[in-house]
């Protein structure tokens, strides 16, 4: 598709999104409306489309915080640190918290909750009547810079994102919401914590290059070789690699989540 | 508004189109393989039977994974339209079954769970059972909602991805669960040496 065509389609979709919003589709509190759009997968099979249509959805403006997660474990005892089953969360689950119902000084209420497994994130979302975003939804929302729906050509934005990915996570994470809002009004998709997505385990590296590091190729059914579409997008490669290294019960220091919701 | 017969028919038709997800049954029973197995009220910390997800068998029985408890299980995820890896996985499982000594073979379950919630409906799985000749007394075939398929694959540590052509790229792993549903062994890859798996199953069954 020609760039001008794509841009005009995007503009039209955004306009439709904005119109939809004005017709009573007010996002729930704390969420932003992400209008219809497209996600271009980084890796795809020969028969896969270049672009995946992402239907409009709501996305949390901020990652879920320790304060928010405390409400959840208060309500649902089986997700408290002392009660969680190992199959659903490893030994690091909420390990910085002072106690079952006390995040303590190491996990301030306004800081993103981390050290939570995919199962815990999913259970939180269900408890809220929400769900985790898909890879496509997350990447599409995160492609927006502060001023553009597609921040790929916004050099200031790409530089900032890259800078964060090359900086180790600080021992004490900053509060959520300090980052600049992106084009959709969503904050901290980059620059604060990595985030779980619903289909984190759909990343299969089956290309025939030597990039199958650490992945046993006997593991995978080869239904078509995969090729990378945008080799410039280094942070997307990092996220792709990071996701494919995760197991669903991992509870990691710099890995949090946010929720999504259908319209 | 009172639903008209037409509206009811339409909604049923829509349900029928939705694949495994919409297959519902009020009969919550154990699969024929597991009638004798009494599921314990609580599972261990590391048991995948902790999950709340529900599944449909090829015999249109709705079950929870915990219904598989009580004897060791040889578990793989697959899809019936798979042309390449899945027939080999199923064949590997049949090799394992054939290699079990007589006193053990009746005490091990074999479970296939589909990735393909759209096409692998109970009738499609029943057909698969027939063509692959999978005996009802030891083999379970089941399908579930996409969300539950995703969760089970996460519990088993498998990756999969649906391609645009409806094929699934997926991990090729056969998992051995003990009677409590804990993962005790994973055989990775196709056409592997089954010796270790068979030895382990004997040990689990005789304990």
Tens digits of residue pLDDT in A65-106: 999 999 999 999 999 999 999 999 999 999 999 999 999 999
Average pLDDT over residues B15-37: 49
Average pLDDT over residues A6-14: 58
Of residues A163 and A251, more confidence is placed in A251
Which among B155, B159, B189 is the nearest to A202, CB-wise? B159
Q: Are A132 and A259 in contact (CB under 8 A)?
A: yes
At residue A62, does pLDDT exceed 70? yes
* Integer Rg of chain B from CA: 17
Question: Of the ranges A231-235, A240-244, B118-122, which one carries the lowest mean pLDDT score?
Answer: A231-235
First and final CA of chain B: distance in angstroms?
60
Q: What is the rounded CA–CA span in Å between residue B203 and residue B96?
A: 14
Of residues A162 and B101, more confidence is placed in B101
Question: Where residue B20 sits, what CATH number does that domain have?
Answer: 3.40.30.10
pLDDT of A100: 97
The residues, ordered by sequence, that sit 6+ positions from A21 with a Cβ below 8 Å of its Cβ are A27, A33
In Å, how far is B190's CA from the nearest CA of chain A?
Answer: 7
Domain count, chain B: 1
Of residues B33 and B188, more confidence is placed in B188
Of residues B20 and A263, more confidence is placed in A263
Average pLDDT over residues A28-48: 83
Range of the domain at B174: 5-206
Among residues A119, A234, A256, the alpha carbon closest in space to that of A175 is found at A256
- Per residue in B143-194, pLDDT tens? 999 999 999 999 999 888 887 777 888 888 999 999 999 999 998 888 888 9
- Per residue in B105-125, pLDDT tens? 889 999 999 999 999 999 999
Does A218 contact B172 at a Cβ distance shorter than 8 Å?
Answer: yes
- Please give the residue of chain A at the shortest CA–CA distance from B89: A221
- Cβ-Cβ contacts under 8 Å, B87 against chain A: none
pLDDT of B119: 94
Does B169 contact A119 at a Cβ distance shorter than 8 Å?
Answer: no
- Please give the residue of chain A at the shortest CA–CA distance from B146: A199
Structural domains of chain A in order of their starting residue, each with its CATH number: 27-263 (3.90.1580)
The residues, ordered by sequence, that sit 6+ positions from B39 with a Cβ below 8 Å of its Cβ are B49, B66, B67, B69, B70
Of residues B19 and B131, more confidence is placed in B131
- pLDDT category at A172 given cuts 50, 70, 90 is confident
Q: Are B133 and B127 in contact (CB under 8 A)?
A: no
pLDDT of B110: 97
Q: What is the rounded CA–CA span in Å between residue B134 and residue B128?
A: 8
For residue B147, what are its two tokens? Answer: 């969300």
- Cβ-Cβ contacts under 8 Å, A86 against chain B: 45-46
Angle between the N-to-C axes of helices A234-244 and A135-142, in degrees from 0 to 180, rounded to the nearest 10 = 150
In Å, how far is A259's CA from the nearest CA of chain B?
Answer: 15
pLDDT of A45: 58
- Cβ-Cβ contacts under 8 Å, B50 against chain A: 85, 87-88
Among residues B79, B159, B152, B150, the alpha carbon closest in space to that of B119 is found at B79
């Amino acid at each position: 598709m020609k760039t001008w065509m794509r841009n005009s389609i995007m503009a039209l979709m955004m306009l439709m999104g904005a119109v939809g919003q004005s017709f009573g589709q007010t996002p729930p509190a704390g969420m932003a409306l992400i209008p219809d759009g497209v996600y271009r997968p980084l890796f795809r099979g020969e028969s896969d489309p270049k672009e995946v249509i992402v239907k409009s959805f709501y996305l949390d403006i901020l990652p879920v915080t320790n304060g928010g997660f405390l409400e959840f474990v208060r309500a649902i005892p089986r997700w408290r640190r002392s009660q969680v089953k190992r199959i659903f969360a490893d030994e690091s689950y909420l390990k910085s918290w002072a106690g079952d119902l006390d995040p303590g000084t190491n996990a301030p209420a306004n800081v993103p909750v981390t050290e939570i497994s995919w199962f815990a994130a999913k259970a939180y979302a269900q408890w809220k009547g929400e769900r985790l975003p898909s890879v496509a939804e997350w990447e599409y929302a995160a492609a927006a810079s502060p001023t553009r729906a597609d921040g790929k050509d916004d050099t200031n934005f790409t530089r900032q994102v890259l800078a964060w990915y090359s900086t180790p996570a600080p021992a004490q994470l900053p509060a959520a919401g300090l980052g600049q809002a992106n084009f959709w009004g969503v904050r901290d998709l980059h620059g604060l914590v990595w985030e779980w997505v619903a289909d984190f385990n759909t990343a299969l590296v089956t290309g025939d290059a030597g990039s199958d590091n650490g992945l046993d190729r006997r593991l995978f059914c080869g239904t078509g070789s995969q090729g990378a579409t945008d080799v410039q997008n280094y942070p997307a490669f990092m996220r792709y690699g990071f996701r494919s290294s995760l197991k669903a019960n991992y509870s990691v220091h710099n890995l949090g989540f946010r929720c999504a919701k259908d319209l | 508004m009172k639903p008209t017969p037409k509206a009811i028919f339409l909604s049923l038709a829509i349900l029928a189109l939705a694949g495994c997800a919409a297959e519902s049954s009020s009969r919550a029973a154990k699969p024929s393989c597991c009638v004798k197995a009494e599921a314990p009220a609580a599972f261990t910390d590391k048991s995948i039977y902790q999950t709340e997800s529900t599944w449909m068998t090829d015999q249109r029985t709705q079950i929870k994974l915990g219904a598989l408890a009580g004897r060791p299980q040889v578990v793989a995820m697959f899809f019936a339209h798979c042309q390449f890896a899945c027939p080999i996985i199923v064949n590997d499982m049949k090799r394992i079954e054939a290699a079990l000594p007589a006193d053990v073979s009746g005490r091990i379950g074999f479970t296939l769970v589909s990735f393909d919630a759209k096409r692998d409906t109970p009738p499609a799985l029943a057909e698969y059972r027939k063509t692959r000749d999978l005996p009802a007394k030891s083999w379970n075939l089941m399908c579930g909602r996409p969300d539950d398929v995703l969760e089970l694959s996460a519990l088993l540590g498998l990756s999969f991805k649906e391609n645009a052509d409806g094929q699934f790229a997926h991990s090729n792993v056969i998992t051995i669960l003990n009677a409590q549903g804990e993962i005790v062994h994973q055989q990775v890859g196709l056409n592997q040496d089954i010796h270790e798996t068979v030895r382990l199953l004997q040990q689990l069954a005789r304990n």
